[in-house]
Chains A and B, each alone.
Chain A
Amino acid sequence: DTAVSQTPKYLVTQMGNDKSIKCEQNLGHDTMYWYKQDSKKFLKIMFSYNNKELIINETVPNRFSPKSPDKAHLNLHINSLELGDSAVYFCASSQGGTSRKTQYFGPGTRLLVL
């Protein structure tokens, strides 16, 4: 009964490819997030959706496109992958979009671009 799940867990791909990472939460939360943890271990927010509406959109290349088909899912599609996209991507969810609500993280997707 995983609370926040991500697929795939590992992703190895070539430069220039397009890939998607999926996230699902079964906590009944209304807000979901994508974070990127780079090689320097910085964990930075990329996007946040509240009730399927984009509420946070950080300075992220437009090759990254999040999609929220419903409150329980937030997918991340990446076009034309570059070496610098190699990182661990974490999905998270919370009830409400304010920081006072605990964010629950998925296990991460390790993306390696060759």
Chain B
Amino acid sequence: DQQVKQNSPSLSVQEGRISILNCDYTNSMFDYFLWYKKYPAEGPTFLISISSIKDKNEDGRFTVFLNKSAKHLSLHIVPSQPGDSAVYFCAASAMTGTASKLTFGTGTRLQVTL
């Protein structure tokens, strides 16, 4: 049962343009959402997050939008740079007892071309 879905396995964007990565979730108990970035042979690194009480969070070139009614979030990168080429994982969190658990999507591979 895949509770977090990233339906686009890959995305190619030209340098300087906007990259939009999408993520859908099914579990209404999720109340915190994160994006992680992963380079080959490395572990995922945290990029940006958003609480369910907000609909937008911005950090430099990265903005995450949350649409709770649609159970959809997106990551916007503008302008895209070649160093942004990586796999981006969407993750969602819900409390489990005294701990919380991250549920990850399968990732979207972003390639930023010159």
A interface, CB within 8 angstroms of B? 4, 40-45, 48, 50, 55-56, 58, 90, 92, 97-100, 102-108
Contacts and interface: CB of A to CB of B under 8 A. Distances in A.
Given A97-B98, A98-B100, A100-B32, A107 B42 contact: yes
Interface residues of B, number: 27
A43 B44 contact: yes
Nearest to A9: B41
Given A43-B89, A55-B97, A99 B43 contact: no
12 contacts: A44-B104, A48-B99, A55-B97, A97-B100, A98-B99, A100-B32, A100-B49, A100-B100, A102-B49, A105-B45, A107-B41, A108-B43
B11 interface: no
Given A42-B104, A44-B104, A99-B93, A50 B43 contact: no
Interface centre among A92, A103, A104 (most CB of B within 10 A): A103
Contacts of A104: 43, 45-46
Contacts of B32: 99-100
Contacts of B45: 104-105
Interface in B26-51: 32, 34, 36, 41-46, 49, 51
Contact of A103 (B2, B46, B97, B98): B46
